[in-house]
Chain A
């Protein structure tokens, strides 16, 4: 198994955190993992990205140029991620705004209204975790349990419960416009 995941969004959207959670969960599940902040030229201008590789084999390149999974926390990120995705790759877009429509037909496309769902739980700050839950329900590169364990390690007890709920809520929420699913 080889999953090459790029997560992208604006500063403050918790992009690095979900990357870290995927990496920690993969690690806890005995996989080879690499987490790396992104160094694309587009890093400037408020965009934050990170790359996570989960693999059964020793990982080579730290850098992911053609991800198999893209998580876009906003539309600007989706526009950049879509063309980079591998054929048959997966693109998850946070639909906080107007609907994003992918141009490519050779990728799987998922949406989640992460901000709105997070607000229903009390705070938009868990939107990233909702998005992660959504992705994992369709494409379990790591298990929800693994992510919950990772959260228990990384989060303080104050926010842990809310984030657990966010993960579960996200996992039950996926709206797909993908005919392949």
Chain B
């Protein structure tokens, strides 16, 4: 029988990595994700795996490159300022098609910002962040259980598509404690004939993003772009709550979606037909699901912990005929359910007047 325990979100990520067969972790301390680094500093060496506290986030992501290139499952975790530093290596990983998992437990920004939870790195994580033409699979857990489950999925998808994969989560979830069912450890891993294992009995393997011949380069990038299209088609994940008869749809991810869930339920007791669409993957974004909803629902409310970032994707998906409002908090401050409820009441009132 599966074991169920109370666990801090960050530790659930660390344990998820262990269960997924993560052989190597490289990280640099930064709040609010230190529990991941601390937990793995004990856990991985116990299992005979690699843990290394690095000199910087730059080194950490470069080590993920080195480890991932050898074919083992590798991870780093950081928070927003460190995530900025890692964009360099992430772009290289995408270009060289080296799998790996990067966890960003987001905090308030820009700059040093503060250590409260936030979702201000949405653009950076979902749209690129580093240089060049690439996309990253973004998984956005909304509970401690999902922090474990999606971390495990991140390793699987990273290997499947030979692509870096992000866990994008806010500091509030990172620090929260909830019951978690401990999953079974992964025992089967895909073969990686492309990996750096020593050129014995086979032609040498090279992993790089560089192309000296300008004639060859476009076809090389095209292969990447084609891969992202397959990911768009196959990997969209989201969860709906009370959408069937909804007249207003809240769109939210991470801890904001938890507040939204409370708000939607409270709104229903008020007689407001609210529903929730929670993207689990931010890239690929559930744009089709939103577009379909927009055919019968004209009011959307985006709840997020940023100045308004995901709202741009929601607007793109639902089109100009729909009203898309924003209820948000930023700068490391949580978004209370009551505020989302107030916004829902305002929209419902406007709908009744029309």
Direct contact between the two chains A and B in their complex (CB within 8 A) = yes
Residues of A within 8 A of B (CB): 20, 23-24, 27, 32-37, 39, 41, 59-63, 65-66
* Chain A positions within 8 Å of B232 at CB level: none
Q: How far is the CB of A49 from chain B (nearest CB, A)?
A: 12
8 Å CB interface, B300-354 against A: 332-338
Q: Which residues of the partner chain B approach A23 to less than 8 Å between Cβ atoms?
A: 6, 177
- Which residues of chain B from 251 to 285 have any CB-CB distance to chain A below 8 Å in the complex? 255, 258-263, 265
Given A39-B116, A39-B117 in contact, is the A62-B334 Cβ separation under 8 Å?
Answer: yes
Chain B residues within an 8 Å CB radius of A60: 258-263, 265, 337
Q: How far does the alpha carbon of A65 sit from the alpha carbon of B342 in the complex, in Å?
A: 14
B178 at the interface (CB under 8 A from A): yes
Known: A33-B179, A36-B176. A63 touches B336 (CB 8 A): yes
CA distance A138 to B309 in the complex (A): 47
CA distance A6 to B176 in the complex (A): 14
Q: Which residue of A has the minimal Cβ distance to B175?
A: A37
What is the CB-to-nearest-CB distance from B330 to chain A, in angstroms, rounded to a whole number? 13
Q: What are some 7 contacts across the A-B interface (CB < 8 A)?
A: A23-B177, A27-B179, A33-B178, A34-B176, A35-B178, A39-B117, A39-B333
What distance in Å separates the Cβ of A59 from its nearest Cβ neighbour in chain B? 8
Among the listed B6, B176, B263, which residue makes an inter-chain contact with A62, where contact means beta carbons less than 8 Å apart?
Answer: B176
CB distance from A48 to the nearest CB of B (A): 13
> How many residues of B are in contact with the other chain, CB < 8 A?
25
Extra contacts, 5 of them, besides A23-B177, A41-B333 (Cβ < 8 A), are: A39-B333, A59-B178, A60-B258, A60-B261, A62-B255
The answer on a CB contact under 8 Å between B337 and A36 is no
Contacts from B to A (Cβ < 8 Å): 6, 116-117, 172-173, 175-179, 255, 258-263, 265, 332-338
A61, B336: Cβ atoms closer than 8 Å: yes
Q: Are A62 and B179 in contact (CB under 8 A)?
A: no
Cα of A169 to Cα of B288 in the assembled complex, Å: 60
Q: Which A residues lie within 8 Å of B175 (CB)?
A: 36-37
Q: Which residue of B lies closest to A41 (CB)?
A: B333
Decide: A35 and B258 in contact? CB cutoff 8 A: no
Residue among A27, A33, A60, A61 with max Cβ neighbours from chain B (10 Å): A61
Instruction: With both chains docked as a complex, state the minimum distance between the C-beta of A159 and any C-beta of chain B, in angstroms.
Output: 20
CA gap between A27 and B259 in the complex, in Å:
21
Instruction: Please tell me if the beta carbons of A33 and B261 are within 8 angstroms of each other in the complex.
Output: no
| Complex contacts, B263 vs chain A, CB 8 Å | 60-61
Check B172 against A39 for contact (C-beta < 8 Å): yes
Q: Provide the bound-state CA to CA distance between A66 and B262, in Å.
A: 13
Contacts of B173 in A (CB 8 A): 62
Q: Which listed residue (B6, B117, B259, B333) contacts A33, Cβ 8 A?
A: B6
In the bound complex, how far is the Cα of B108 from the Cα of A41, in angstroms?
14
Provide the residues of chain B in CB contact with A37, threshold 8 Å. 175
Knowing A60-B258, A63-B336, say if A36 contacts B6 (CB, 8 Å): no
Contact of B259 among A34, A41, A63 (CB under 8 A): A63
Closest to B115 in A: A39
